[in-house]
């Protein structure tokens, strides 16, 4: 099982939850080596199995090289969680072009960079599989100051739905999970008061998102594919999108 962006936030919570459920994990990270090693140690202490797999999802060549080498040594992945993502928020009129580019390269291009080398090995396993991408409330409904982020996360939904149709006959499911306001480092940048915007009047936890992602890897979720599942405390109720 591969989890990208696993060293912190939602990715870390997902990795811990999947490790607790007995999955062998490859923990991808870009720069947070100490945090990734601490996560691996925690999984090992809990009786799980985990490997460190550093690469930058925005770098197509580095992705392919790292993933093909890992698959050659350990075998194909049965499951993938695409979590790695960045923000660079600003109104479109003042958004630097390089900030548009780097958000799209990481959040959306990473879909292709990671999955293109992994899909056919997964198919050849002939045992089905699971792919979950982490989209966002912004990707489904938009958000002021996040045109680049919303575009990348909306693109993930479209890509996930299309790949779900391509892989359904192989019993490989593909779904997007779209969190709203979740307690992460990324949320801290939005400031105080965001909980008041949520119908449930609280911020969600990374563990709640991880539980939803983990459910999509169960046998009970085997008939769910091509969906964008919101986990946002009701934030999207009544929103157009």
Q: What is the pLDDT of residues 106-118, one digit of tens each?
A: 999 999 999 999 9
Sheet containing 50-54: give its strands across: 50-54, 25-29, 2-3, 79-82, 129-134, 172-179, 228-231
Among candidate residues 149, 206, 216, 233, the one labeled active-site is 149
Check if 223 is active-site.
Answer: no
- Say if 202 falls within a structural domain: no
Residue 200 lies in a domain: no
Tokens, residue 35: 């945090």
Q: How many domains does the chain contain in total?
A: 1
CB 104 within 8 A of CB 156: no
pLDDT digits (tens, 9 = 90+) for 193-217: 788 889 999 999 999 999 999 999 9
Predicted TM-score (pTM) of this structure: 0.95
**CATH at residue 165:** 3.40.50.720
Neighbour tally for 136: CB within 10 Å: 28
- pLDDT class of 187 with cuts at 50, 70, 90: low
> What does the buried/exposed string (b/e) look like for 108-133 if buried means 16 or more CB atoms within 10 Å of the residue's CB?
bbbbebbbebbbebbbeeeebbbbbb
> What phi, psi does 70 have (nearest 5°)?
-65, -45
Does residue 188 lie in a domain region? no
Average pLDDT, the chain: 95
- Residue 22 belongs to what domain range? 2-179+207-231
pLDDT in tens, 109-165: 999 999 999 999 999 999 999 999 999 999 999 999 999 999 999 999 999 999 999
Residue 238 domain-assigned (yes or no): no
Q: Do the domain assignments include residue 45?
A: yes
pLDDT of 65: 98
- Give the pLDDT of residue 184: 82
């Amino acid at each position: 099982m591969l989890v990208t962006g696993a060293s912190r936030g939602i990715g870390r919570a997902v990795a811990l939850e999947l490790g607790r459920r007995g999955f062998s994990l490859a923990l991808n990270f870009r720069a947070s080596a100490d945090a990734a090693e601490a996560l691996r140690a925690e999984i090992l202490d809990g009786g799980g199995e985990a490997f460190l797999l550093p690469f930058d999802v925005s770098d197509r060549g580095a992705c392919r090289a790292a993933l093909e080498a890992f698959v050659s040594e350990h075998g194909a992945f049965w499951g993938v969680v695409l979590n790695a993502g960045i923000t660079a928020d600003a109104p479109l009129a003042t958004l630097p072009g390089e900030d548009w580019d780097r958000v799209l390269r990481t959040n959306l291009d990473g879909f292709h960079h990671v999955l293109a080398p992994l899909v056919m090995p997964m198919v050849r396993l002939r045992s089905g599989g699971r792919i979950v991408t982490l989209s966002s409330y912004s990707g489904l409904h938009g958000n002021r100051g996040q045109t680049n982020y919303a575009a990348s996360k909306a693109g993930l939904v479209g890509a996930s739905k299309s790949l779900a149709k391509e892989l359904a006959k192989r019993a490989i499911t593909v779904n997007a999970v779209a969190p709203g306001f979740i307690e992460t480092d990324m949320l801290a940048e939005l400031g105080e008061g965001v909980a008041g915007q949520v119908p449930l009047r609280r911020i969600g936890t990374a563990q709640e998102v991880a539980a939803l992602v983990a459910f999509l890897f169960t046998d009970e979720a085997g008939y769910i594919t091509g969906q964008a599942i919101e986990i946002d405390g009701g934030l999207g109720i009544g929103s157009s999108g």
